[in-house]
A and B are shown apart, each in its own frame.
Chain A
């Protein structure tokens, strides 16, 4: 960690040398440690210290972006020059709205000393603990446990200054027998929040109960999607429909539908960088504070997230969801996504099902089939069960679903009061925080052999 004062001083020194009309510097440095295990032993174990520094400059309405991973002053100066050189070679961008002005930030705690100091040995001992639990049942264990820390800063030539230190910890585990498996996961800013025993127990129980799976025919079924399954669906819906680019291209399932009811009134989906029961982060990669954005509010399409460039195009304001400049052409993206919970316990939701399927998790979802109709496909895995008369009866062989998610969400019966935090590739910056969802109709279009 360089620290707020030293980092600002270092970046502002480079900023002062810039000959551009406007200059922005983003710093993202971290130490990411990850322990992977499979076949009940640790097979990969890494620790990576890196930093990425992005320069965005505007000169005579021309924009250039360059980046380096070296924090040496000489390399920073050279990268600034590279950004200027790129800008000089570009045509003018008359639509560029200018870099954001100084902002005010609410305080949010995103750093935990204990997590920052977590050692490889401590990670290995946690893994050993859950290996022992699964081995006691003659099951094998695979998964990953990561922890780390970092700091993110944004400064620009208008005087904007944003800084946030972060820690992160995530784990996922798959417990396996010869013909079944079970899954559990969690993520937090604080490693002490991860309850390894509880997760291992849940994964072991799923593995145990899904042994000797029976085959059922594909078709439309009542389903309960557990939080990991819901999060995987939301991750794709976010990608194909909740950001500015697909919305503006008319490729989003929200395009042309703002103000219209598109799901059951029980469904609300939103992004909130300040909410503490997820993995909070307060500003975006332009230094703009994150606003709470309702994507779907009680079933009604409400809006998408914006960065400053996309916002200018739609004559609105940035919602604080800019990504790093190298991905800016992909548009803004939500990183702290929530689905509002319901009032029932998962147990009571299962009790409501006469005949249906309980899905723990999906594999390899893809949402490009028909984005305007939010058609997704994917496979179930690691704990798929037949529910009859309100009870889990059998494990079943995995199924492929292909369905319009907005149509499926129209049949929402209930949502669980319990929520799960599910990490994604942006785990340092946020996660999905979602309940289990009970749908009356969900289309399974195919099956597999296990």
Chain B
């Protein structure tokens, strides 16, 4: 395949394009789900092709094809050039593309146990065992467990001379239980909702999740939720647990720092950002203890890789430093606008999509608190567990999150459980009310395998390192 890409690059050079890159990707995926201890679906997919991105007449064109025949690849390259020339019909100025170090390299993500070599029996038996525990109550309506694995071969060649090959393996799993009493239905998930937890790692990642040790707990919590009180409508102190903090960081920091979004290129669908360029290095985004970094180099984290889909090496970049907004996620096209070089965040959802600026691992750096001390230090408040619902406005200011379960905090202790709990806020007000973050011991990276952006919609695999975090004077329980 590398020879075909080299020939394709030579052809594109002969067509005198301003720039071109060719990206081959082969993605093998396997997904198995078990419902009520029976296999619900078992699916394996192989998907491959080549995407060709071209700058001609100062504008972009992209064409992609599943066929790898040399004649088809040439046709696809010609289509990309034709499209770029059509794009140029509306151009205001030729696009600028930041200089970039050119790499010839190979990267392999960490993987101890290739998940595609583990027998179906082993995977299914584990999921059945989890479901057996989850369904062991007359109040349980359904129980589910699933595992998903990806194996990707990526090749990136450019007219600048880049030749990068990457092998990446990702693994993830989840389980959930629905309790029902004839009137009410409530769901609990583990280790996270929205597909569970994922890592750029092999089967060892899934083996490291203690499903069996937590299945009984979430089953009982789902049953308890049937009789739980609704979350009261009030303004109070909240402690947000790690996985919910991951989504909080994702929606209220990760998306608004994408420089393409800031510049308006996603406005019609996903929206814009309040973190506009005039606020860069000026905005007090959060309190002094808030430090957020974009770090694509964390081993086994789902947002880690060797090189992005523009051939830029993975990096660690400060985003929020002592509460101040200091960094964007950038690309080769957007970085020059803030007089920087790309920090390597352009990723595409497969060969058949163009790369967009995507989150890597956007992490809220740990603080100094023990969780027990943090709860004990909170006189009155609510503890919010993992996510159930999420919504945020198109500039990423007004957000509302719902969780599967919440608990009252009274005189420094966890009390009764609340159902259908929500909290809401305005992003910078919320982060400036942050007064405590738990320490490294409670800090964990949460892989999110379904971050949507772009048109047609692309799904990115990203992650967030977080620990339980406290915020003051937050509006909660606003369901009606």
Contacts from A to B (Cβ < 8 Å): 32, 34-52, 63-70, 75, 79, 82-83, 86-87, 89-91, 93, 95, 119-121, 123-125, 127-128, 131, 140, 142-144, 146, 172-174, 176, 248-251, 255-256, 325-326, 328-329, 363-372, 375, 377-379, 381, 398, 400, 402-404, 425, 443, 445-450
- Whether A445 and B92, one on each chain, are in contact in the complex, defined by CB atoms closer than 8 angstroms, is no
Residue of A51, A79, A93, A400 contacting most chain B CB atoms (<10 Å) = A400
| Other 16 A-B pairs with CB < 8 A, given A249-B142, A445-B480 | A34-B455, A47-B83, A49-B76, A66-B45, A69-B47, A79-B46, A89-B120, A90-B39, A90-B120, A121-B89, A365-B391, A368-B402, A377-B422, A378-B391, A381-B393, A448-B426
For B79, the closest partner residue in chain A by CB is A47
Q: How far is the CA of A90 from the CA of B42 in the complex (A)?
A: 8
- B contact residues around A381 at 8 Å (CB): 271, 393-394
Contact flag A41-B354 (CB < 8 Å), given A372-B185, A379-B394 = no
Give min CB distance, A23 to chain B, whole Å: 16
For B44, the closest partner residue in chain A by CB is A66
For A174, the closest partner residue in chain B by CB is B268
- B contact residues around A172 at 8 Å (CB): 268-269
- Whether A38 and B265, one on each chain, are in contact in the complex, defined by CB atoms closer than 8 angstroms, is yes
Q: How far is the CA of A173 from the CA of B269 in the complex (A)?
A: 9
Q: How far is the CA of A128 from the CA of B91 in the complex (A)?
A: 10
Residue of B33, B43, B420 contacting most chain A CB atoms (<10 Å) = B43
Give min CB distance, A387 to chain B, whole Å: 22
Q: How far is the CA of A87 from the CA of B60 in the complex (A)?
A: 45
Q: How far is the CA of A127 from the CA of B44 in the complex (A)?
A: 40
Per-residue contact bits, chain B 161-194, to A (CB 8 Å; 1 contact, 0 not) = 0000000000000000010101011010000000
- Whether B271 and A50, one on each chain, are in contact in the complex, defined by CB atoms closer than 8 angstroms, is no
Within 8 A of A (CB), among B449-480: 455-457, 478-480
- Whether B391 and A364, one on each chain, are in contact in the complex, defined by CB atoms closer than 8 angstroms, is yes
For A63, the closest partner residue in chain B by CB is B42
Q: Number of contacts between A and B (CB, 8 Å)?
A: 273
- A contact residues around B61 at 8 Å (CB): 45, 120
- Whether A448 and B91, one on each chain, are in contact in the complex, defined by CB atoms closer than 8 angstroms, is no
- Whether A45 and B87, one on each chain, are in contact in the complex, defined by CB atoms closer than 8 angstroms, is yes
Give min CB distance, B419 to chain A, whole Å: 9
Contacts from B to A (Cβ < 8 Å): 31, 33, 35, 38-49, 51, 59-67, 76, 79-80, 82-84, 86-87, 89-92, 119-121, 124, 141-142, 146, 178, 180, 182, 184-185, 187, 263-269, 271, 274, 352-354, 388-395, 397-398, 400, 402, 420, 422, 424, 426, 455-457, 478-480
Give min CB distance, A252 to chain B, whole Å: 9
- A contact residues around B86 at 8 Å (CB): 35, 42, 45, 119-121, 123-124
Contact flag A367-B45 (CB < 8 Å), given A91-B124, A402-B400 = no
- Whether B66 and A69, one on each chain, are in contact in the complex, defined by CB atoms closer than 8 angstroms, is yes
The 7 closest A-B pairs by CB, nearest first: A89-B120, A120-B86, A448-B398, A368-B389, A124-B86, A379-B393, A67-B45
Q: How far is the CA of A293 from the CA of B267 in the complex (A)?
A: 36
Give min CB distance, A33 to chain B, whole Å: 8
List 11 A-B pairs, Cβ < 8 Å: A49-B64, A49-B76, A120-B82, A143-B268, A249-B178, A329-B33, A364-B392, A368-B388, A370-B420, A379-B398, A449-B397
For A449, the closest partner residue in chain B by CB is B397
For A364, the closest partner residue in chain B by CB is B391
Q: How far is the CA of A366 from the CA of B325 in the complex (A)?
A: 29
Give min CB distance, B140 to chain A, whole Å: 11
Q: How far is the CA of A446 from the CA of B121 in the complex (A)?
A: 50
- Whether B90 and A124, one on each chain, are in contact in the complex, defined by CB atoms closer than 8 angstroms, is yes
- Whether A44 and B62, one on each chain, are in contact in the complex, defined by CB atoms closer than 8 angstroms, is yes
Give min CB distance, B317 to chain A, whole Å: 24
Q: How far is the CA of A180 from the CA of B280 in the complex (A)?
A: 23
Give min CB distance, B404 to chain A, whole Å: 9
Contact flag A402-B479 (CB < 8 Å), given A42-B87, A42-B89 = yes
Residue of A46, A128, A176 contacting most chain B CB atoms (<10 Å) = A46
- A contact residues around B182 at 8 Å (CB): 256
Give min CB distance, B81 to chain A, whole Å: 10
- A contact residues around B187 at 8 Å (CB): 251
Contact flag A325-B49 (CB < 8 Å), given A46-B354, A402-B478 = no
Q: How far is the CA of A113 from the CA of B478 in the complex (A)?
A: 51
- A contact residues around B178 at 8 Å (CB): 249-251
Contact flag A448-B59 (CB < 8 Å), given A86-B120, A251-B178, A369-B479 = no
For B387, the closest partner residue in chain A by CB is A368
For A403, the closest partner residue in chain B by CB is B480
Q: Which of B92, B141, B391 interacts with A377 by CB under 8 Å?
A: B391
- Whether A89 and B121, one on each chain, are in contact in the complex, defined by CB atoms closer than 8 angstroms, is yes
For A144, the closest partner residue in chain B by CB is B455
For B31, the closest partner residue in chain A by CB is A326
Contact flag A42-B38 (CB < 8 Å), given A127-B90, A144-B268, A251-B178 = no
- B contact residues around A64 at 8 Å (CB): 42
- Whether A400 and B393, one on each chain, are in contact in the complex, defined by CB atoms closer than 8 angstroms, is yes
- Whether B62 and A47, one on each chain, are in contact in the complex, defined by CB atoms closer than 8 angstroms, is yes
- A contact residues around B63 at 8 Å (CB): 46-49
Q: Which of A176, A250, A449 interacts with B141 by CB under 8 Å?
A: A250
- Whether B89 and A124, one on each chain, are in contact in the complex, defined by CB atoms closer than 8 angstroms, is yes
For A400, the closest partner residue in chain B by CB is B398
- B contact residues around A69 at 8 Å (CB): 46-49, 66
Q: Which of B38, B76, B90, B271 interacts with A128 by CB under 8 Å?
A: B90
For B401, the closest partner residue in chain A by CB is A366
- A contact residues around B89 at 8 Å (CB): 42, 121, 124-125, 128
Contact flag A66-B43 (CB < 8 Å), given A86-B120, A143-B268 = yes
- Whether A45 and B60, one on each chain, are in contact in the complex, defined by CB atoms closer than 8 angstroms, is yes
- Whether A39 and B263, one on each chain, are in contact in the complex, defined by CB atoms closer than 8 angstroms, is yes
For A170, the closest partner residue in chain B by CB is B455
